[in-house]
Amino acid sequence: MIIAIDGPAAAGKGTLALRLAAHYGLNHLDTGLLYRAIGRKMADAGLDLDDPEAAGRVARELDPADLGHGDLRGREAGELASRVAVHPPVRSALVDFQRSFAARAPGAVLDGRDIGTAICPDADVKIFVTASAEVRARRRTDELAAKGRSVSYERILAEIRERDERDSVRASAPLRKADDAALLDTSDLGIDEAFAAAVAIVDAKRG
Ligand code: CDP
Ligand code: CDP
């Protein structure tokens, strides 16, 4: 079984994907981590993030060890990721790895932006997770505050809007709900409620 989870930043994709993978006994791949590692590597090497060829080279040379880099989950890496993610050579370099991961027994949950549309168009279940930009910014602000880092809600909201825009307008595999994906709006749902709704979607699909 392959479950594709897509959606904008801080919609709750990662949290849902982890819980679904544990619930159904599947592997899990956070595909955003691949783009984050490439952006980080380019920035650390002083390479031009807007150069598609340089970005493609770094993507083709990506090593599993690069995914263990210190702060890949943070806001800066998210911003770097969305800048390198626009380049077609970067996206094509990552296709085979993601598809092989998905094909491995017993199956997998992959979360990202283009899993249902480009990476696994034949996934058994596709869920497009979303929430209003305001709710997503509030979640990220609270998440940072819980780690003792205070960043203003307005600033996080602006970053989220900018990243949504860049991810949606790019020509190559933009953020888009697949026609056959179920829409899960978590604006008014807590984590447990969102998980229950996702399980209902998966179980209905499996029959
Ligand atoms: O992976 P993605 O960026 O889409 O989101 P996430 O990292 O799974 O979730 C972002 C934050 O929102 C986390 O702190 C979650 O605990 C929180 N969250 C929530 O409060 N309510 C939900 N229904 C889903 C996530
Ligand atoms: O957790 P959050 O949604 O904030 O970020 P992420 O899923 O780690 O993705 C970081 C960035 O990588 C996104 O803003 C996209 O630009 C890019 N990305 C992508 O283009 N395709 C994917 N399958 C996953 C991430």
Q: What is the CATH number of the domain that holds 52?
A: 3.40.50.300
Query: What pLDDT sits at residue 64?
Result: 86
Task: Return binding residues for ATP.
Answer: 7-15
Identify the band that residue 69 occupies on the pLDDT scale cut at 50, 70 and 90. Answer: confident
- Give the structural domain span for 125: 2-206
Dist. CA 137–CA 34, nearest whole Å:
23
pLDDT number for residue 70: 78
Nearest CA to ligand 2 atom 8: 32
Whether 206 shows a pLDDT value over 90: the answer reads no
Question: What phi and psi, each to the nearest 5 degrees, are found at residue 196?
Answer: -60, -40
Total domains present in the chain: 1
Interval between CA 18 and ligand 1 midpoint (Å): 11
Query: Percentage of the chain with pLDDT > 90?
Result: 96
Segment 76-102 mean pLDDT: 97
